């Protein structure tokens, strides 16, 4: 079999990616011959090579990008590296119709710490999350099959948990203004109740108040009942600043604190950043 015959076969079956072992077995040639054939197609722009031993077929309409869109092959790529995943943060918000600006990167949440992948002009970044299996997800159909995407509620949770990955809290607030239309109060309550980490509940509740999503914010407030809620900073500090977080805890316990410090007693937050909606 020639390599173009192999590519025709896999695309006819609805696949746009393949592994080195698959093509070598199909061609029945040596390593040197297989690599030479793949190299020639890469030079022509007909193949992309986002990861070692993983290849993507690039049709003419995507050759200006040097790769297909990440959504076309992300499911197969994550299966190849044997890692659970879901599309998250701003990329997920886009699927839910809430991306204020088109994300510059394709954001994937997984349990493994991985370096970003650059494939032509396409960039995939990975966010590590140990509790991924507890995150509600949904499926979205693409032209190449389905992919796993965080639910609207989980997307909101992740955005306030990783604001630096989303252009800051100002941008999170702006995106949330659109995403709020997709949030279900019952599902949001369920998510808040099953989580052990409640800081995101405090921060999201505060943001929902800012955009007047009162029904949803009251649901989150209800979830905090009978739970130990410590005072936190609205804008999380780097992990290298434990002394500042300790100060926030002390301020939360103290009855006398500086008048210059803005507190939100409803959510037990120290408002260390003034947020503004993007227009």
User: Are residues 211 and 113 part of one domain?
Assistant: yes
Closest C-alpha among 248, 253, 215 to residue 233 = 248
Task: Return the pLDDT at 277.
Answer: 75
User: Are residues 198 and 147 part of one domain?
Assistant: yes
For the segment 41-55, what is each residue's pLDDT rounded down to a tens digit?
999 999 999 999 999
Residues 6 or more apart whose Cβ sits within 8 Å of residue 213: 180, 183
User: Are residues 112 and 54 part of one domain?
Assistant: no
Mean pLDDT of 237-261: 57
Q: How far apart are CA 163 and CA 150, in angstroms?
A: 16
Task: Return the pLDDT at 265.
Answer: 94
Q: Is the pLDDT of residue 136 over 60?
A: yes
Number of domains in the chain: 2
Last residue of a domain, one of 14, 36, 62: 62
| Percent of the chain residues past pLDDT 90, beyond the cut | 78
Where residue 257 falls among pLDDT bands split at 50, 70, 90?
very low
Q: What is the pTM of this model?
A: 0.88
In terms of Cβ atoms closer than 10 Å to its own Cβ (0-12, 13-18, 19+), residue 15 is middle
Residues 6 or more apart whose Cβ sits within 8 Å of residue 139: 146, 147, 148, 149
Last residue of a domain, one of 15, 45, 62: 62
Mean per-residue pLDDT over the chain, rounded = 90
* 99-103, 232-236, 248-252: the lowest-pLDDT one: 248-252
User: Are residues 235 and 194 part of one domain?
Assistant: yes
Where residue 262 falls among pLDDT bands split at 50, 70, 90?
confident
Report CA-CA distances (Å) from 182 to 10, 37, 93, 187, 200.
37, 48, 10, 11, 18
The two tokens of residue 253 are 């316990």
Q: Which domain holds residue 170?
A: 70-270
Backbone angles phi, psi at 226, to 5 degrees: 65, 20
How many Cα neighbours within 13 Å face the side chain of 188? Answer: 29
């Amino acid at each position: 079999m020639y390599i173009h015959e192999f590519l025709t076969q896999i695309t006819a079956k609805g696949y746009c990616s393949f592994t080195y072992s698959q093509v070598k077995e199909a061609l029945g040639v040596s390593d040197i011959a297989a690599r030479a054939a793949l190299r020639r197609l890469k030079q022509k722009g007909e193949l992309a090579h986002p990861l070692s031993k993983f290849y993507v077929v690039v049709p003419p309409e995507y050759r200006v990008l040097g790769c297909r869109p990440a959504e076309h092959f992300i499911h197969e790529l994550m299966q190849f590296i044997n890692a659970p995943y879901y599309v998250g943060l701003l990329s997920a918000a886009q699927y839910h119709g809430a991306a204020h600006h088109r994300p510059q990167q394709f954001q994937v949440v997984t349990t493994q710490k991985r370096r970003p992948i650059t494939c032509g002009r396409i960039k995939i970044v990975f966010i590590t999350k140990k509790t991924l299996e507890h995150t509600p997800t949904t499926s979205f159909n693409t032209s190449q099959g389905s992919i796993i995407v965080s639910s609207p509620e989980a997307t909101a949770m992740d955005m306030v948990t990783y604001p630096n990955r989303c252009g800051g809290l100002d941008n999170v607030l702006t995106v949330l203004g659109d995403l709020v239309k997709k949030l279900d109060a019952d599902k949001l309550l369920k998510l808040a109740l099953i989580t052990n980490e409640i800081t995101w509940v405090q921060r999201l509740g505060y943001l929902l108040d800012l955009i007047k999503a009162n029904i949803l914010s009251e649901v989150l407030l209800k979830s905090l009942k009978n739970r130990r809620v410590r005072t936190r900073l609205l804008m999380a500090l780097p992990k290298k600043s434990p002394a500042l977080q300790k100060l926030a805890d002390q301020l939360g316990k103290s009855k006398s604190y500086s008048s210059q410090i803005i507190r939100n007693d409803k959510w037990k937050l120290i408002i260390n950043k003034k947020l503004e909606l993007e227009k």
